Chain A
Amino acid sequence: MSAARKVPVYRGRFGPVQAERLLWRAGFGPRPGEAEKLARKGLDGAVRSLTRAKRERLVGPAPVDDDKHRIAPIDAWGHDHLWWLDRMVRTSRPLVERMTLVWHDWFATSNSGVGSQRLMLKQNRLFRSRGLGSFERLLVAVTKDPAMLLWLGGTDNEKGSPNENYGRELMELFTLGAGRGYTERDVREQARALTGWRNDWDDDKGPVNFRYDRERHDTGSKRIFGKRGRFDWQDACRLSVRHRTHRSFFVSKLWSYFIPTPPSAATRRALESVYVRNHYAIRPVVEAILKHPALYSNRRMVKPPVVYLAGMLRARKRGIDTEAWTWLSNQAGQQLFYPPNVAGWQDDRWLDTASFLARWNLAGRVLRPVVLETSDKAPLNANKLIERALEFWGRPELSPPTRRALKAFAAHAIRDADRSWKKTQYPPLIENALRHLIAVSPDMQTS
């Protein structure tokens, strides 16, 4: 490896606009006043406050269902989604939660194949606790995670009848990328190395007692990536992470969660060197990405549906109080713990006419409990109504075309108020409409 290259760092102004973007990309958007507060820390301080946050505090009311009962994330269908959404909304460590979502997508395990909310939540804890540490250790932990063992056939993989499912995805999706330096033989040999995991079935609890059983492990010699040895499951992980194509796969994939265009070759190599120099630690790479000029000057990204929803709830300081979030998120294309397949969600396909309607309905559900009545007072003035509606959402940054569309709407609607009763009743209706239009505006769908 050549001399360590430096990853470029953003040197422009770091004001509330930049802080707002950082909070959306590295978290779930600002609570009121949060972007201004973060901006005062400067770029370095802001990034450090996210990547090296102190102990988590949950701010706001505890999550309940529609009957105001405590949610039951392990037992009730859909409450797993509510439980995690609540963490996204209330956490004081948004990046930790966002990284947990990154790993959920990276190691996309779906409860449709696992059939146990208990095990899915266990995996979720793993992502949360190890999400910024060593990727190699994370990979080792995921490899023996019960939900993953069920999802990709790990406990079906035994000596004499290997199941190649995990061995293949370990390289294709988790560490190297398709066609990047491994062969079908490596898949078979990885599968042999990974043999040995098993579990029991309990009539009440379902799958239990996940363990490594030497009797089921293929102790024979294997040849993986041209190396020969009596490799086991930990070797399978280690060999994959040390493979020459892993570092570029890792930094590019991680980058893609934060920035929509691929890194330049120079930036990629610099990130690789940060990654390797830090012994495959995740945090330094995340920090370098979050400080990169591309995050601030580059294109916008469509917010994933749960980020969009959690962001609205954070802006409103609203807790989880309805089970509707589960099915509405599903309609919007993202039910947590149910990624569509082992490759995760398709981040470039979030928006279409069906998911737009679902996002419209998500916004409507956020607005419903605080809707203004016709008896509420609101000014008969387009600009003032727009200001109030922007204030409602914590003054998000809007593009000129969106501002123009809001202005035209409010002005027309005010002009419609040609009777005295309309002059008092229309303004609160217009303000309700403005809140909704801002929430579904292209600016709020992206960050």
Chain B
Amino acid sequence: MSSDCCNEFSRSSLMRKAVAQAGSGLPAIEPGMPVPAGTGLDRRSFLARSVGLALAVYGGTALAPRAFDHGIAQALAAGGPDTVLVSVFLDGGADNLSLLFPHGDPEYRRLRPKLALPDSGLVFPEDTRLRWHPSARAFHTLHNEGKLSVLPAVGYTDADQSHFTSRHYWEVGDTNARLQTGWLGRYLDRVGSNDNPLQGVSLDGDLSPSLATAKKPVAALSGAGNYSFWAPGVWGQVEERMLDAVGSLGASRGKDPALAGARAVTFQSHRLRQQMAQFDSDITSPVPYPRSESGFPDQMAGLAAMLAAGLPLHCVALSAYGMYDTHSDQAEDLADGLKLTSDTLLAFQRDLEARGLANRVLTLVWSEFGRRAEENGSDGTDHGAAGIGLLMGTRVRGNMIGEFPGLKSGLDDDGNLRATVDYRSIYCSVLEQWLATDATAVIPRAKSFARVPLLR
């Protein structure tokens, strides 16, 4: 983790990680700080043989892993859900005033004497004051093709400036610190299946709180083809012989029940490894993805491959590449994060198009807040209010949703950008228009949020 981000961000990330790793329970937290949705959900690991995936399943505890495997196989045979929603999170509070910067706003250079970007030439047509960040050329391309709707100032009134709290509000779809189910989790509780945990899947390895359900099972994926046995200092022919020997160790049984049981499990593990080996190098993409040490391009490429294989994925969540809590050295960190994230999302879109899946997938990009309009004294920016939102897909309108409020009259008393669209308006609209469900059954006080036409 970068040392540039604030302590609270580091701590809350670590705490979330601890939650996910422990499966439940938090280290002592500050009173008033919300507990992430899904905390305490039972977590069980198993291998879905039908699709070759190692899964950590959350919730739906009445069912044995076998039932999940069966449920996945059945959903697979039925052809999977029609629509897919992918939620991509920019962790840390991405600076929308750099991603889509107000080049033509006279206040911009006054508030950002050091950080103001030079004209990138990537003009945003609906509001010609705005320019795309030079590292986000891929978003410019997508928007020009009509495949990217843009929310230049999305959020909620009286934005909470704690990473932990604001992210929680976005995850649960309500400004309620005590809500324990995610907005997509409640949707899945309503329409989801009892035995297909792939209907809501986190690709980060940990359960995404936005997918936390009350009743239905959801899953975190630790990767396809992960059931492999690695032995240090053994390779080549010797390794092949060694892996075969695992089968021999489990081949006999004998009278002792514990020994016989251990031998049986050894043999099953050996067989499972052989079955899984075929998934090891399974992901081939029809388009190139950016090469990176980070897992994000592989995760997106893997997602497209899984959808192409007909896996019954319905709601998917993951974090994008990048550290967006840019309190210092913003220029470098942000350019790095935006470049790989936007290039990867463009590759994902191209991949879906090449595979003929593009009409089925909608991708929502969000962050817990934007950043302060005025830069700070350490070449960075502090926590703000309204932030960036993006909707990507061939079926979106590709327009601007809400408006850019300007830096003169568009700031609140703290000098933060005011929201021109409430995030719950987007959630309600996605639920109704993309997922064809009644938003009032999922989002608290849904009636009070205006609906936005999202699709063509």
Contacts and interface: CB of A to CB of B under 8 A. Distances in A.
Contacts of B377: none
A312 to B, nearest CB: 14
A80 B251 CA distance: 38
Contacts of B249: 401-402, 405, 437, 440-442
A119 to B, nearest CB: 10
Given A301-B258, A428-B233, A442-B266, A409 B47 contact: no
B259 to A, nearest CB: 5
A351 B245 contact: no
Contact of B234 (A206, A338, A402, A433): A433
Contacts of A432: 231-234
A440 B257 contact: no
Residue of B24, B27, B45, B238 with most chain A CB atoms under a 10 A cut-off: B238
A437 B262 CA distance: 14
B312 interface: no
Nearest to A405: B248
Given A77-B18, A299-B258, A401 B241 contact: no
A281 B263 CA distance: 39
B265 interface: yes
Interface in A110-128: 110-113, 115-117
A415 to B, nearest CB: 10
Given A116-B28, A364-B230, A440-B266, A351 B261 contact: yes
A338 B231 CA distance: 29
Interface string A327-357: 1001100010010100000000001111011
Nearest to A340: B42
A260 interface: yes
A78 to B, nearest CB: 8
B242 interface: yes
Interface in A235-290: 260
A436 B230 CA distance: 10
A445 B263 CA distance: 9
A405 B27 CA distance: 46
B21 A77 contact: yes
A364 B241 contact: no
Interface string A410-447: 00110010000000001011101100110011110110
A371 interface: yes
Given A77-B22, A364-B230, A416-B238, A354 B261 contact: no
B277 interface: no
Residue of B27, B28, B47, B261 with most chain A CB atoms under a 10 A cut-off: B28
Contacts of B25: 110-113, 115, 338
A441 B263 CA distance: 8
A140 interface: no
Given A77-B18, A203-B31, A368 B232 contact: yes
B239 A354 contact: no
A2 interface: no
A206 B238 contact: no
Contacts of B23: 112, 330, 338
B46 interface: yes
Contact of A300 (B238, B239, B259, B269): B259
B245 A408 contact: yes
Contact of A399 (B46, B235, B244, B259): B259
A373 interface: yes
B265 A356 contact: yes
A443 B238 contact: no
Contacts of A409: 241-242, 244-245, 248
Interface string B19-52: 0011111111111000000001010011100000
A75 to B, nearest CB: 8
A117 B27 contact: yes
A201 B31 contact: yes
Contacts of B235: 429
A405 B265 CA distance: 16
A106 interface: no
B13 interface: no
Nearest to B25: A112
A301 B262 CA distance: 10
A270 B45 CA distance: 42
A413 B261 contact: no
B227 interface: yes
Given A368-B232, A413-B238, A416-B237, A260 B22 contact: no
A360 B236 CA distance: 19
B14 interface: yes
A426 B238 contact: yes
A26 interface: no
B129 to A, nearest CB: 46
A371 B263 CA distance: 26
B389 interface: no
Interface string B256-293: 11110111011011001000000000000000000000
Contact of A335 (B22, B30, B236, B251): B22
A353 B242 contact: no
A372 interface: yes
A404 B249 CA distance: 9
A354 B242 contact: no
B252 interface: yes
Contacts of A416: 237-238, 241
A436 B256 contact: no
A50 interface: no
A77 B248 contact: no
Given A353-B269, A429-B234, 8 more contacts: A299-B257, A300-B256, A399-B259, A401-B263, A408-B245, A416-B241, A432-B233, A442-B263
| 7 closest A-B pairs by CB | A112-B25, A371-B233, A442-B262, A432-B233, A409-B245, A405-B248, A401-B252
7 contacts: A110-B25, A301-B258, A302-B262, A357-B227, A364-B230, A409-B242, A432-B234
